Every structure is written in C-alpha cells, then in structure tokens.
Amino acid sequence: MYTRGQAIDFIEKVFGVGSMTNQGANISVVCPVCVESKGHFYTKRKLAIRTDNFVTHCWVCGYKSRNLANLIRKHHPGYFKEYVERFIGSTHLKPEGNQIEEHLHLPSSFKLLAIQDMSNLSLEAAASLNYLSGRFGEELRQSQNDKLWYWKFGISTEDNAFANRVIMPSFDVDGNVNYFTGRTILSHIHPKYLNPNVFREDIVFNEINVDWSEPLTIVEGPFDLIKCNTNATCLLGSELTTEYKLFLMIIKHKTPVILALDSDAKEKALKIAQLLFEYDISVSILDIPSNFKDVGEMTQSEFTSLLKDATSFNTDYLLRARIAKLLDI
C-alpha cells in the first residue's frame, strides 16, 4: 500500500508541480498529450489524477485512462519501471484514521457447494452440481470436493437474479472478493453470464492463487480455468493492454506467459503476445485445435498434452503467422 503523500510526490516528480483539487483527492498537472499537440509553451494544469488509484482525465483534450501506465510509457519512459515497481500491486491507498476500505461482495446468501450435505442436497444445489459434472466431466467426478473447494463454486438461494446459476468467485491477493460470475445452468435463461459492474482492467482473476515467479497460463473466461494447470488466470474477455493490472503485474515480475485463447481469437493472441514480447516477456502460444472452441471444451489431460507443445513467440513466429494469413492457410 502507498500513502497519498507518496502518490503526490511521484506524480509531481514525473509531471511537474501540481495543484490539489476535490479536497485533496485529485492533483491537477500539465497534460503531456496537450503539450505534444500545443507545444512546450502550454502550461495549463488540466490533467486531473486521482491520488488513490491514478485514474486520469484531461479536461482539455479529453484523455482518459484507468492508470498512468500509458502516459508514463509514452511521454516519460524513464519513470515507467519505478511506477510499476512502486505502485502496481498496491491498488489501495493506505487507510488514514478511521477510513474503511470497501470491497466487492458476493450475491446475498451465497453458499459454497463444497460444504453442502451430499446426502440431502437442495434441488438447486443438486442441479448446479449436475451442471458442473456435465460440463467438466471426469476431472470433477474424480476429485469433486477438491475442485469445489479450490474454485469456491457456490449458489445464491435468496437472490433471484442468481437463481439457477453457478457462481464462480475470484479473490485478490489479500483474500477479498474482486470479481465473480454467475453462469446459468439452464439453456433458456439469458444472459448466459451475470457479472458485477466493475472495471475489468483492475482485476486479476484468481489472483490469490497466482505465482508470478512461475509461467502463467492465460485463457479468456473463468470457466476455462478448471481445465488449466493451477497457475492460471483469465482475461475476462480477449483483450490485454498496458492499462490492465494483469499486464502490469506480469511486467513487474517478468512472469513468463502461455496464451491459450479461444480458437477464433488468433489475431488477438498475436497482438497480446507482441505487446508482452516488446517488454521482454517470454511468451508462448498454445494453438487450440479446430475441433475445440476453447479450453473449456477440452479435458484436462488434453489441455496438459497441448501445453507441452506451446510454441515460443518471437519475430519469426509473427512473420510466419502473417504470411499464413495472407495465404489463407
């Protein structure tokens, strides 16, 4: 964690002396994007930066960002390493006085499936376990209790919005809930997934179990993870940019990455691999066979077998991929 004073000192070191606004919650400095377009004579302090999480907004050019990574990387690259090492992973301002941090909460009456009485299951618990068994097959049946405990699958019996849904939560490094998804177990219920209204850029799914010193497998969605090796997380989509906490944590720890995106996301996988490669991150790409849509459709043994054949990404790999696309092969 960092203090407000530490955040302000760093911001002023990078962007110059600022002025405090919003009762000290924000600091306004000269926007480097405006300087780039208007010239070095431009001195208006119109770039507002929150001192608790570095969310930025320029009131002149309209630039917005969830953090300072892009601005520093492009306009003040000499400070990028310090920004990542000092502040990434310390996402919360250090509490002052009686300040209380607020965290995301699971749906009301959330109940872990792992602690249900298997001899006397409710209809919803039985249906949810049946869904998981059907989706994840032999992997779940062979070690059901371990899987249920590890992923903390659950149900909500009182929140109607999450009725007939399996809830899969995620926890940050401190053990606080940072995300969850509720997957319907009935085909006629839409939307298929219910998720909290949070910024996905700020989330590392399954962060509590991630070992940044070991190769990290990255898939697209939470339900793909149960087929992966244990050191894995997901994008909650198919994008990864310099604004994502996941990206910044990988850079901070120089974590090797194995990309295992859906079979229809090859171009996005190449884009992510190229971005990580530019930051000297070791990247491998796992090619999903055409008979599988995603990792979630495989068995765990099939995924483990493919993992051994993941191809290291480099400039030659990118060139071959571009040629193959041009030739449509």
Residue 1 has pLDDT above 90, yes or no: no
Are residues 222 and 318 both part of a single domain? Answer: yes
Report pLDDT digits (tens) over 292-301. Answer: 888 988 888 8
DSSP secondary structure string, 222-283? Answer: GGGGGGS-SSEEE-SSS---TTSHHHHHHHHHT--EEE---TT-HHHHHHHHHHHHHTT--E
Are residues 121 and 146 both part of a single domain? Answer: yes
pTM value is: 0.86
Q: Torsion angle of alpha carbons 35, 41, 46, 52, nearest 10°? A: 70
Are residues 258 and 172 both part of a single domain? Answer: no
In a domain, 98, yes or no: no
**Is the N-terminal amide bond of 215 cis, ω within 30° of 0?**
no
Residue 280 sits in a domain whose CATH number is 3.40.1360.10
In a domain, 23, yes or no: yes
Q: Provide the number of structural domains found in the chain.
A: 3
Q: What is the mean pLDDT of the chain?
A: 89
The residue to which tokens 């909650």 are assigned: 236
Which pLDDT score, from 0 to 100, does residue 279 have? 93
In a domain, 103, yes or no: no
Residue 156 has pLDDT above 90, yes or no: yes
Going by C-alpha positions, the residue among 146, 179, 147, 185 that lies closest to residue 165 is: 185
> Which of 147, 173, 198 is at the close of a domain?
198
Are residues 43 and 134 both part of a single domain? Answer: no
Are residues 210 and 321 both part of a single domain? Answer: yes
| Contact in structure between 223 and 191 (CB atoms under 8 Å) | no
Which pLDDT score, from 0 to 100, does residue 100 have? 46
Q: How many CB atoms lie within 10 A of CB 81?
A: 12
Whether the CA torsion 273, 278, 279, 284 is positive or negative: it is positive
239 token code pair: 């994008």
Q: Torsion angle of alpha carbons 285, 287, 292, 297, nearest 10°? A: -30
> Angle of helix 245-253 relative to helix 80-87, nearest 10 degrees?
100
Are residues 191 and 305 both part of a single domain? Answer: no
Distance CA 42, CA 259 (A): 43
Angle among Cα 121, 122, 126 to the nearest 5 degrees reads 65
In a domain, 295, yes or no: yes
Going by C-alpha positions, the residue among 45, 63, 59, 50 that lies closest to residue 23 is: 50
Identify the domain containing residue 281 by its residue range.
Answer: 201-327
Are residues 191 and 206 both part of a single domain? Answer: no
283 token code pair: 């990247």
Are residues 209 and 121 both part of a single domain? Answer: no
Percentage above 70 pLDDT, the chain: 93
Report pLDDT digits (tens) over 275-284. Answer: 999 999 999 9
In a domain, 95, yes or no: no
In a domain, 104, yes or no: no
Residue 97 has pLDDT above 50, yes or no: no
Are residues 246 and 129 both part of a single domain? Answer: no
Report pLDDT digits (tens) over 242-292. Answer: 999 999 999 999 999 999 998 888 899 999 999 999 999 999 999 888 888
> Which of 198, 232, 262 is at the close of a domain?
198
Distance CA 131, CA 129 (A): 5
- By CB atoms closer than 10 A (0-12, 13-18, 19+), residue 141 is exposed
